[in-house]
Amino acid sequence: MAESWTSGYVTEVGYQWGYFPELNPMRAKIALPCSGIACPEIKHACELGFGQGVSLNMHAAGSEAEWHGNDFNPSHAIAARELAEHSGAMVRATDQSFAEFRRREDLPQFDYIGIHGVWSWISHENRREIVDFIKAKLKVGGVLYVSYNVYPGQAGFIPLRNLMMEYLDRISPSGKGMTARIDETLEFAEQMIESKPVYAKHYPAAVKRLADAKTQNRNYLAHEFFNRDWHPMSFLDMSRWLDEAKLGYACSANLLEQLPSLTTTQEQREFLESVPDQMLRHQIVDFMINQQFRRDYWVKGARRLSTAEQMKTFNDLSVVLIRHADDASLTMKGPIGEVNLNEEIHKPLLDFLCGNKVRSIGEIIRKLQSDKYTTVNLLQALLILMGDNQLAPANSNPSAKIRKQCERLNRFIRNRSRDVDEINFQASPVTGGGIAAGRIVQLFMLALEDKAGTDEELARFAWQCLSARNQRLAQDGKPLETEAENLAELKKRAGEFLNKTRPVFSALGIQ
């Protein structure tokens, strides 16, 4: 394979068809004001290294912004363009390298640049290109979202991943194909660990990571572990890189991490208060939670909001529950363990949001504020629900254009799902982004279009699609062999879809 354009990056196998809500500019609109920083209106947005372009296209369909994106893998660019052609949204997806893209003179100044799952997996020179691009192309006041692997959470695994990389390069024959080479390399690493090296005793988390890798999608692993480059870094090293583009840290896009009570114990908070440097405190929190992956917003010139401006901003922002009320949960996994939410505040909040109604934050505060629960308590409760993916920022009145773009994109994705199980999301004009919708759910939606109505009819339609392709459902990792078994399982799932998923989708404008 020509090294010239790949820079040692894996291009032999395509990336997964993932969707990442952190890349949704609507999240930045809530996350930044929560930290007292203004978020600009996002008219021009850009995603670097977009993979198959699912997030790029969902966000373009769900907004009226002009989106640009680049990913040097032409197979990725063509996949992203195909989605854009069907949605009709304003997306320009190119197959340029970061270096070529940076030199383009026809690009606008961006209000928002998003980079997910790229920074740690590219060379020093390519990181330089990205910083120069941001320096030249992010507007003053603009927002950068970037995720990356970080110390200390990744420290123990680095030598094991490097050893696997050496094995892959030196021993596993390149003619075998990437998937087979990855399998062989994982096998080798497992045998090494089975011989009980002292390393395994000192780094049990790395050993577990290897065991987990064996169960993961090989395309994902190819890009995650088997690139030439993999460079986790500390938060402060990252801040030095971005300082060159005049960016300052704004806040975490992992909304749970904005709440100190979920990331640190009382004792740790007391220690942190004794540290006089705010940026150093952020890095120390990474030790408190053994952070592996940071997802952060940075801004080119922070405009601080006064308390009155902050309240006005919240008044105008809306949110919506993205699960069925029966599935709303008062326990969740926080950065340092399971958290029980305060029923007294969360129960009335969930009741008020029930039926997946879009509510403005101002309305929520006016309705639920009391002597006991202040605006701050309510905002924290909303952040927790958003961080736990139960609630999402919402557009209270999506335009006809946005609705049409999402509908066209969704229809294309659903029709594609007759044949392949790849894009497990549908675009919501209300959240301006993707909502999980597995292949079977998409087949049920196709059945409804085909005038099927009952659970039985939906199940039969889905079964026809699967059996015509000689496919079966699986349960606990084992295929269901007979038609009767498949139909019974499909009927059960169709019942859940009709009772729960369909009403939620309808409230989210997914049809």
Ligand X SMILES: C[S@@+](CC[C@H](N)C(=O)[O-])C[C@H]1O[C@@H](n2cnc3c(N)ncnc32)[C@H](O)[C@@H]1O
Catalog residues that contact ligand X under the rule CB under 6 A. Answer: 7, 9, 15, 18, 20, 49-51, 70-73, 76, 97-98, 116-118, 121-122, 126, 223
Residue of 136, 139, 107 lying closest to 303 (CA atoms): 139
- Say whether 277 sits in a helix, a strand or coil: coil
Q: Which is nearer to ligand X, 70 or 239 (by Cβ)?
A: 70
CB of 284 to ligand X, least distance (A): 28
Amino acid of residue 273: E
For residue 148, count other CB atoms closer than 10 A to its CB: 24
Residue of 248, 235, 242 lying closest to 291 (CA atoms): 235
Q: Which is nearer to ligand X, 33 or 69 (by Cβ)?
A: 69
Token couple for 177: 């194909």
CB of 375 to ligand X, least distance (A): 35
Strands (E), 341-380: 359-360
CA 498 to chain centroid, in Å, comes to 27
Residue of 374, 422, 417 lying closest to 18 (CA atoms): 422
Q: Which is nearer to ligand X, 21 or 33 (by Cβ)?
A: 21
Residue carrying the six token digits 């894996």: 10
Q: Which is nearer to ligand X, 229 or 456 (by Cβ)?
A: 229
CB of 51 to ligand X, least distance (A): 3
Residue of 27, 58, 26, 24 lying closest to 407 (CA atoms): 58
CB of 15 to ligand X, least distance (A): 5
CB of 449 to ligand X, least distance (A): 29
CB of 499 to ligand X, least distance (A): 32
Token couple for 100: 């070529």
DSSP 14: P
Q: How far apart are CA 75 and CA 234, in angstroms?
A: 32
Give the helix/strand (H/E) hosting 271. helix 266-273
Q: Which is nearer to ligand X, 120 or 264 (by Cβ)?
A: 120
Q: Print the SS3 string covering 2-59.
A: CHHHHCCCCCCCCCCCCCCHHHCHHHHHHHHHHCCECCCCCCEEEEECCCCCHHHHHH
CB of 429 to ligand X, least distance (A): 22
CB of 236 to ligand X, least distance (A): 24
CB of 469 to ligand X, least distance (A): 26
- Say whether 85 sits in a helix, a strand or coil: helix
Q: How far apart are CA 397 and CA 409, in angstroms?
A: 19
CB of 352 to ligand X, least distance (A): 34
Q: Which is nearer to ligand X, 20 or 298 (by Cβ)?
A: 20
Residues 324, 499, 26, CA angle at the centre, nearest 5°?
A: 35
Burial of residue 392, with CB atoms counted within 10 A of its CB: 0-12 exposed, 13-18 middle, 19 or more buried: buried
CB of 13 to ligand X, least distance (A): 11
Q: Which is nearer to ligand X, 59 or 76 (by Cβ)?
A: 76
Longest dimension (CA), the chain: 70
Q: How far apart are CA 148 and CA 153, in angstroms?
A: 12
Sequence-distant (≥ 6) Cβ neighbours of residue 244 within 8 angstroms: 131, 135
Q: Which is nearer to ligand X, 179 or 511 (by Cβ)?
A: 179
For residue 227, count other CB atoms closer than 10 A to its CB: 20
Q: Which is nearer to ligand X, 71 or 286 (by Cβ)?
A: 71
Q: Which is nearer to ligand X, 97 or 486 (by Cβ)?
A: 97
Q: Which is nearer to ligand X, 130 or 383 (by Cβ)?
A: 130
Q: Which is nearer to ligand X, 121 or 226 (by Cβ)?
A: 121
CB of 322 to ligand X, least distance (A): 20
Burial of residue 260, with CB atoms counted within 10 A of its CB: 0-12 exposed, 13-18 middle, 19 or more buried: middle
CB of 97 to ligand X, least distance (A): 4
Q: How far apart are CA 205 and CA 157, in angstroms?
A: 8
Token couple for 118: 């790229």
Q: How far apart are CA 229 and CA 246, in angstroms?
A: 26
Q: Which is nearer to ligand X, 15 or 226 (by Cβ)?
A: 15
For residue 83, count other CB atoms closer than 10 A to its CB: 27
DSSP 325: G
